[in-house]
Amino acid sequence: MSSTGSAIVAVLLVISLALCIAPSQGQLHKNLKYYETLHAKDLSHRIEKRGAKHSNHPFNTIKEVEFRVLGKNFRLILHPHSSVLHSNFRAYTVDGNGSESIVHLDRSNFFKGRVFGEMQSHVSAHIDDGVLTASVVLPDETYHIEPSWRHLPHTTDRRHMIAYRASDIKFSWDNVESVSGELGGVPKTCGYVKEGLELEEADDDDRETAEDDSETTTPSSVWHADDDDERKSKMVRRKRQADQYEYTPTKTRCPLLLVADYRFFQEMGGSNTKTTINYLISLIDRVHKIYNDTIWQDRSDQEGFKGMGFVIKKIVVHSEPTRVRGGEAHYNMVREKWDVRNLLEVFSREYSHKDFCLAHLFTDLKFEGGILGLAYVGSPRRNSVGGICTPEYFKNGYTLYLNSGLSSSRNHYGQRVITREADLVTAHEFGHNWGSEHDPDIPECSPSASQGGSFLMYTYSVSGYDVNNKKFSPCSLRSIRKVLQAKSGRCFSEPEESFCGNLRVEGDEQCDAGLLGTEDNDACCDKNCKLRRNQGAVCSDKNSPCCQNCQYMMAGVKCREAQYATCEQEARCTGNHAECPKSPPMSDGTMCQERGQCRNGKCVPYCETQGLQSCMCDIIADACKRCCRQSINETCFPVEPPDVLPDGTPCIQGFCNKGMCEKTIQDVVERFWDIIEEININKVLRFLRDNIVMAVVMLTALFWIPVSCVIAYFDRKKRKEDWKEYEWSQKLDLIHPSDRRRVIHIRVPRQKITVARM
């Protein structure tokens, strides 16, 4: 092949690879409107306090972590926290043959705490090799920080993180095609299963409860219409003895078995067992807070109970696909595609589930219809199966343990879900296990966005930003309350942690000085978390930003800096209270983050202040300039005068650095094999349709490049022959070089000639 032909092929190969790679660079923008990156070196760590005496107290180390991101300074006050782990917690890794190996876990890397100066804040964090995974909850906003390698495949430095606001999360169905082919379809992202309906209906003692639930959704309407045949199939059951369990208020923890299949281990855990385990523990810790803060009651005017949550008793991580014999099925086997309901049933065959309140499978499979999770629903009826504390169940020759559910980290885009989404999906599936079906479409339980938005158990995905998204609806509260009262006594356990000494003022505590308080060495707070009023203490320095030397600070002392990212002015102590008052909003028109303007206490981006929409320019020359567009279907254009984006801002092919968009593309070979593994006819057709011009060029090139190479070969051969012909014509040789082999040489014997002399 000529050098020209080789160059053409190389250029086309690079172009085609670039087209395939490009979508992965911006895939996170389908989930987030805006995010920023930070590096582990941007975090400042220090030990704030230690006890005067040697102590094994869990709060012996108080850690402060400071950093700046999203236009805001964060100062996290953290203490070790592993209460979500059972005292007999064990973690195992399992190979393809089923052999278990115990994994030793460092519990000191898990933290809880607050933001300094924000008494209504809450922080849940995990720090591994300097990399922070955290959820920071403030009164008006929630911030998330997590490793970037899970969502930005080009990231080679595993010490990078992404940070984003909950308000920047996009609805997961914004760009989903409906059945009619139009945008705006809403996929059902969760299903649930009810088994053993005949047993429930036969329970005469629970007729009244059955009447209350007579209008609940049946499995066929929850799943697919063709599920009626399966539901009506013959099932073999064994009659069980109904046990009586009294509700025990002190048993408030549901012991969990968490299982990660090999796909989850590879994708969300980065093929690292401890990373996988740490991710699951952090996730459950955040979900536990949602449940623990919920008051379970029938009516708002009725006294309920709270403090119900989870504790992790065992984690199993599959590092390899499970090897099975022909005809057998295992939830961790190699299979390209699973029906989500079939997968849950196979997972429910595991005998070990009987030792736990709930068992949950985490996978990275992409299910049909955008399904992100599935779970068996709990019921308050004594003979019912499914959900928490359920007895075994027999179906089609198998013993099933229906205290199970599953969730996937792969959404309908084929992308990994972000932390916020994973929290809500898992909390939603646990809600089914605890007895809640989907919220009915009535104003009380499915209000509009203006009334707080959908609740956690809504049929479809929730964004996580609306007020109600992390709350249970009145319908769910009523259903779950009945199940907890009927069954929690069977398998729930008592919490194993004392709360006094965790630096958070809770319950009837007046203060909490952490380790110093428990050692009775704090000047303001005693070991029982009570103020030393007999010594004149009116507040605690450890808990209140407007407290100094156990007394209120003078009025006018600044206790909170101005926050331009959230359009909040600085706050100052009042002189008669220990807490920092709420910051007043900045006046409308004040410049805030990213050239935006404050309006009604919110920072409105620059483009929106001009009646436009913020977007990202896809032309390399403009990639690191601020861009806007008229509407979602219009082209992005840079604003005038040009406004260069700050370093580290995401751009079309990487991140901005000194006004230039630096390309960050993952290894070409790795990406090539990703394409081969994930390729299917639908993706090919969609690619050809979306890139019609390039598709025509590439298909034409596939034909003409080989033809051109053949023609070039014969042309080169002809030129060589013509040159040889020319060289021969310039010589005195009468025989053409090609004729030499046809010339016959005859040797004539020499004759001796005699010359006569005269």
- Lowest model confidence (mean pLDDT) among 197-206, 527-536, 610-619, 687-696: 197-206
| Architecture field, domain 190-491 | 3-Layer(aba) Sandwich (3.40)
User: Band of the pLDDT at 499, cuts 50, 70, 90?
Assistant: low
3-state secondary structure of 43: coil
Q: What is the Cα–Cα distance from 508 to 524, expressed in whole angstroms?
A: 16
- Contacts for 524-529 with beta carbons within 8 Å, 24 or more apart? 524/550, 527/500, 528/500, 529/500, 529/501, 529/505
Tokens of residue 392, six digits = 């075994």
- Lowest model confidence (mean pLDDT) among 63-67, 687-691, 693-697: 687-691
Tokens of residue 529, six digits = 């978390």
Tokens of residue 680, six digits = 């299917």
438 is in an annotated binding site: yes
Sign, CA dihedral 233-234-237-243, equals positive
Buried b (16+ CB within 10 A) or exposed e, 216-250: bbebeebbeeebeeeeeeeeeeeeeeeeebeeeee
φ, ψ dihedrals at 188, nearest 5°: -75, 115
Q: Which of 262-271, 659-668, 698-707 holds the top average pLDDT?
A: 262-271
From residue 17, alpha-carbon distances to 11, 241, 671 in Å are 10, 63, 9
The residue behind tokens 């006018």 is 556
Candidates 195, 350, 429, 509; catalytic one:
429
> For a pLDDT cut of 70, what percent of the chain falls above it?
72
- Judged against a pLDDT cut of 60, whether residue 745 lies above it is answered with yes
180 burial via Cβ count (<10 Å: 0-12, 13-18, 19+): exposed
Q: What is the pLDDT of residue 450?
A: 65
224 is in an annotated binding site: no
- Of 514 and 253, the structure prediction assigns the larger pLDDT to 253
Q: Residue 665's closest CA among 39, 7, 17, 16? A: 17
- 303 noted as active-site residue: no
- Judged against a pLDDT cut of 90, whether residue 101 lies above it is answered with yes
- Lowest model confidence (mean pLDDT) among 294-298, 450-454, 580-584, 711-715: 450-454
From residue 404, alpha-carbon distances to 19, 264, 358, 400, 651 in Å are 42, 18, 6, 10, 42
Tokens of residue 272, six digits = 């690292």
Q: Residue 98's closest CA among 402, 325, 393? A: 325
- Of 9 and 345, the structure prediction assigns the larger pLDDT to 345
User: Band of the pLDDT at 615, cuts 50, 70, 90?
Assistant: confident
Q: What is the pLDDT of residue 388?
A: 92
- Lowest model confidence (mean pLDDT) among 51-60, 185-194, 599-608, 664-673: 664-673
- Kindly state the average pLDDT of the residues 170-180: 47
Q: What is the pLDDT of residue 337?
A: 87
736 is in an annotated binding site: no
The residue behind tokens 């042309």 is 715
536 burial via Cβ count (<10 Å: 0-12, 13-18, 19+): exposed
Q: What share of the chain is helix, strand, coil (3-state, %, to 5)?
A: 30, 20, 50
Q: Residue 728's closest CA among 741, 738, 714? A: 738
